[in-house]
Structure 1
Amino acid sequence: MRFDKAFLPAGGYWSTPFSKWGGSFANLHPLKFAAEIARKALAERAVDAKELAELVVGWTVPSPNCFYAAPWVAGMIGADSVTGAIVSQACATSAAALAHAAAKIESDDNEATLVVLADKTSNGPHMVYPNPLGPGGKPDAEDWVWDSFSRDPWAKNSMLETAENVAREAGVTREQQDALTLHRHQQYEQARSEGFYKRYMVTPVEVNPSGRRVVGTVDYDEGVFATTAEGLAKLRPVMREGGTVTFGSQTHPADGNAGLLVCSRERATAWSRDGAPVRLLSYGQARVEKGYMAKAVVPAARKALADAGLGIGDMKVIKTHNPFAVNDLFFARQMEIEAESFNNYGSSLIFGHPQGPTGARLIAEGIEEARLLGGGHVLFAGCAAGDTAAAVVLEV
């Protein structure tokens, strides 16, 4: 899908820090939290919420009252005359929600849409489904987060197994995964030491679960562990029989939220801070064979690049959602680039994965890296549940 009219204001995107499973954000309502952050971010950018024509909300984990997600969040940020869609496409939610908003701009439906991504993997819902035909009327049950991680109902395997399948087929070794994990950690630490995250992150975040008293402050990501080659080598594979993926070479579940403004050129220009607006060029998605999720990033990226009329060599910045180090090693081989050459300033392998907001944070990082480099094209691509993936190409 190609776009010609969709733009993001320079600086018109943000993310909270990401907090580990059970961390400081575990007891916050994800939609209320996201609305609070969006309200603050819009005010800092001198954007009046009443000028928004639509609001799109992306989430993958249900929360109380999420049935009313878009109109409720719109009301909480001061845009109580607008509404919009709820988008839920697993780990591709950010890219899919961005594409949905861009399509509305492309069709001249409106001039300004806010995309809010909100998820909390901590304290996920335990679902009970009535089943009068069950033994003694026993209901069916599902642990939304845990069961979704553990079993794809179509492929009948876990997320971890998809990484092992690709590693085995592609000949990706444990040593290669550990080496790239260490490199990704070093890239992340560089971003922190240089204060790169301050270019897009809403920080500090006050934690106020009751709405009456602040109980803590989060200045930066929670749950990132010190990483060394020796420490990685000591970890056992999660799958004991023939496994190569360890807890070190995969991401961790997290909580957080993010936002993106998607506008016409005129509105994006008016709302831009310290630079020209960012043009959204294309969106692509793909699906591969059962149980090989990491492979899907390649055809999704190729689709987005082809629709933009560009090649991988035209990209100034490449960001990937990489729940496993395997993903980036496979992607690099297939695209004929060096795995160490992309994901500068961080990736979800290191800072964690709240699912819905993950891609939006990576897109914000990619845009800001390109701005530091004087402009250029940005590719974001990442896998998602169901052996799928999504990608977008932007021009900074």
Structure 2
Amino acid sequence: MSFDRVEIPYGAYWSTPFAKWQGALQHLHAMKFAAWVAKGELARRNIDPESFDTGVFGMTNTQYQSFYGAPWPLYEIGATRTPGHMITQVCATGARVVFAGASEIQLGMAEQALIIAADRCSNGPHIYYPAPKGPGGYGQSEDQVTYNMMNDAIAGHSMLETAENVARKYQITTEEQHEVVLRRYEQYQDALADDHAFQKRYMTLPFSVPKHNFKGEDAVLAGDEGVFATSKEALARLKPVQPDGTVTFGGQTHPADGNVGLILTTPERARELSTDPAIRVTLRGFGQARAELKFMPEAPIAATQKALDHAGVSLADVVAIKSHNPFAVNDIAFARATGADVMAMNNYGSSLIWGHPQGPTGLRAIVELIEELAIRGGGIGLFQGCAAGDSSMAAVVEVSQR
């Protein structure tokens, strides 16, 4: 299925700064916070919340009363009669919500979709599951965020173990990983140049953090919070986390909080909503894949090829690549398998540096990809990223002049 009936209005997207967990955003209910941000961003663009005939909300970590799904935040935004659904697909959520909304429009089920992804890794829920017929009637419990990062539901391994497996397969050393980390940190500095000029293309800065009841200001963020400054010397002092491993704390991302929003609509309506009607943003294709058990960082390789095939293009046609890279291993393995230049990927930043709130991570990367393509004067871009369950999703977008 092509997506010729769907466009992203240029500039009709936004992101909060991402804050390292237990930081400036830790007190905010993820769904309420995402609705609060979206309501303000729509008002800034003079977009009526009631103009949406569908909504897709992506979130991974349970929040109080998240049982109610997308209709709750949509109502809070002011889209009081807009139906919608919630998707939870761990780190693939950001790309998955775009695919879901685009599919509804392409099938003629809707004309304008509000896409939101949010997560709060901070203060993750402690969940108890009753088991009245279990021994002694005792049930099971989990700390949803930390336990699941450390214990795969299928084989019990940690996410870190998947990175080490891929590092062994592709013979990736600690030193190579640190070289990529330094490059990613350098690229992120470009997004901060000239008083955050790149980030201000899609992010409202300084960002006023509301109080927990959304009445008044709790703090002000100048940008992403909790980004670790690094250097070659600092990374060289780090030892691998696992015995006989290669991945250090410097070679992996950190949990974070935040949310991202994006509008999908028809080509006709996109011109009306764009901040620059001359710029056209289209979705060319999507792909998904699943790697061998315990090889999560390898999954984007196959997903990318499927997305490129769906779009009818090759990697040689792609001028910008963004990845969700929880480990530097991800980018190195991808480059070795595809021939991509590992040092040219992820201009202006990536989740390896600005953090990983799971649900919105990929969506922010897609937004940044659009802006990089616009700066380049157009072209085809690729987003790819892995997700728990050794899975992955990729998306191909194109920015052009009308």
Q: TM-score range by the shorter chain?
A: over 0.9
Question: Secondary structure at 2:343's aligned position in 1?
Answer: helix
Aligned to 2:87: 87
Report how far residue 200 of structure 1 moved: 0.7
The whole-number CA distance in structure 1 between the counterparts of 2:373 and 2:280 is: 13
Q: 2:281 aligned with 1:264, yes or no?
A: no
Aligned to 2:373: 370
Residue from 352, 359, 363 that aligns with 1:360: 363
The whole-number CA distance in structure 1 between the counterparts of 2:393 and 2:84 is: 21
The whole-number CA distance in structure 2 between the counterparts of 1:134 and 1:365 is: 49
TM-score, normalised with respect to structure 2: 0.96
**How does 1:148-163 map onto structure 2 within 5 Å?**
148-163=148-163
The 3 A distance-change label for structure 1 pair 49 and 212 is closer
The whole-number CA distance in structure 2 between the counterparts of 1:220 and 1:211 is: 20
Question: Secondary structure at 1:220's aligned position in 2?
Answer: coil
**RMSD of the TM alignment (CA)?**
1.1
Aligned to 1:31: 31
Question: Secondary structure at 1:7's aligned position in 2?
Answer: coil
- Give CA-to-partner distance per residue, 1:144-180, whole Å, 9 cap, x none: 1011100112132110000000001110000000011
Aligned to 1:303: 306
- Give CA-to-partner distance per residue, 1:283-313, whole Å, 9 cap, x none: 1100011000011000101100111000111
Report how far residue 276 of structure 1 moved: 2.2
The whole-number CA distance in structure 2 between the counterparts of 1:208 and 1:55 is: 26
Which stretches of structure 1, 4 residues or longer, exceed 4 Å deviation after superposition? none
Q: State the identity as a percent.
A: 48
Report how far residue 61 of structure 1 moved: 0.4
Asked whether the 8 Å contact 1:53–1:112 carries over to 2, the reply is yes
What stretches of structure 1 of length at least 5 have no aligned partner? none
Aligned to 1:282: 285
Q: Which residue identity does 1:174 align to in structure 2?
A: T
Report how far residue 277 of structure 1 moved: 3.0
Q: Which residue identity does 1:209 align to in structure 2?
A: H
Question: Secondary structure at 1:85's aligned position in 2?
Answer: strand
Aligned to 2:14: 14
Q: Which residue identity does 1:370 align to in structure 2?
A: L
The whole-number CA distance in structure 1 between the counterparts of 2:73 and 2:323 is: 28
Aligned to 1:127: 127
Q: Which residue identity does 1:393 align to in structure 2?
A: V
Q: Which residue identity does 1:260 align to in structure 2?
A: L
The whole-number CA distance in structure 2 between the counterparts of 1:30 and 1:200 is: 20
The whole-number CA distance in structure 2 between the counterparts of 1:284 and 1:48 is: 32
Report how far residue 212 of structure 1 moved: 3.2
**How does 1:79-118 map onto structure 2 within 5 Å?**
79-118=79-118
**How does 1:220-239 map onto structure 2 within 5 Å?**
220-239=223-242
Higher mean C-alpha deviation, range 131-140 or range 249-258:
131-140
Report how far residue 135 of structure 1 moved: 3.9
Higher mean C-alpha deviation, range 381-390 or range 272-281:
272-281
Question: Secondary structure at 1:212's aligned position in 2?
Answer: coil
Report how far residue 65 of structure 1 moved: 1.3
The whole-number CA distance in structure 2 between the counterparts of 1:190 and 1:231 is: 21
Report how far residue 206 of structure 1 moved: 2.3
TM-score, normalised with respect to structure 1: 0.98
Higher mean C-alpha deviation, range 333-342 or range 323-332:
333-342
Q: 2:352 aligned with 1:349, yes or no?
A: yes
Aligned to 2:389: 386
Report how far residue 269 of structure 1 moved: 1.4
The whole-number CA distance in structure 1 between the counterparts of 2:208 and 2:159 is: 31
The whole-number CA distance in structure 2 between the counterparts of 1:144 and 1:299 is: 29
The whole-number CA distance in structure 2 between the counterparts of 1:7 and 1:340 is: 30
Aligned to 1:217: 220
The whole-number CA distance in structure 2 between the counterparts of 1:53 and 1:163 is: 41
Q: 2:315 aligned with 1:332, yes or no?
A: no
The whole-number CA distance in structure 2 between the counterparts of 1:359 and 1:168 is: 26
Residue from 196, 199, 221 that aligns with 1:197: 199
The whole-number CA distance in structure 2 between the counterparts of 1:211 and 1:227 is: 35
Report how far residue 268 of structure 1 moved: 1.1
Question: Secondary structure at 1:304's aligned position in 2?
Answer: helix
Aligned to 1:250: 252
The whole-number CA distance in structure 2 between the counterparts of 1:162 and 1:384 is: 11
Higher mean C-alpha deviation, range 315-324 or range 268-277:
268-277
The 3 A distance-change label for structure 1 pair 136 and 126 is same
Asked whether the 8 Å contact 1:24–1:207 carries over to 2, the reply is no
Q: 2:312 aligned with 1:316, yes or no?
A: no
Q: 2:177 aligned with 1:177, yes or no?
A: yes
Report how far residue 62 of structure 1 moved: 0.6
Q: 2:167 aligned with 1:164, yes or no?
A: no
The whole-number CA distance in structure 2 between the counterparts of 1:202 and 1:116 is: 16
The whole-number CA distance in structure 1 between the counterparts of 2:215 and 2:272 is: 36
- Give CA-to-partner distance per residue, 1:168-203, whole Å, 9 cap, x none: 111000000001101100000111114210001133
The whole-number CA distance in structure 2 between the counterparts of 1:316 and 1:41 is: 30
Q: Which residue identity does 2:287 align to in structure 1?
A: G
Asked whether the 8 Å contact 2:373–2:381 carries over to 1, the reply is yes
The whole-number CA distance in structure 1 between the counterparts of 2:155 and 2:142 is: 18
Asked whether the 8 Å contact 2:208–2:217 carries over to 1, the reply is no
Asked whether the 8 Å contact 2:92–2:387 carries over to 1, the reply is yes
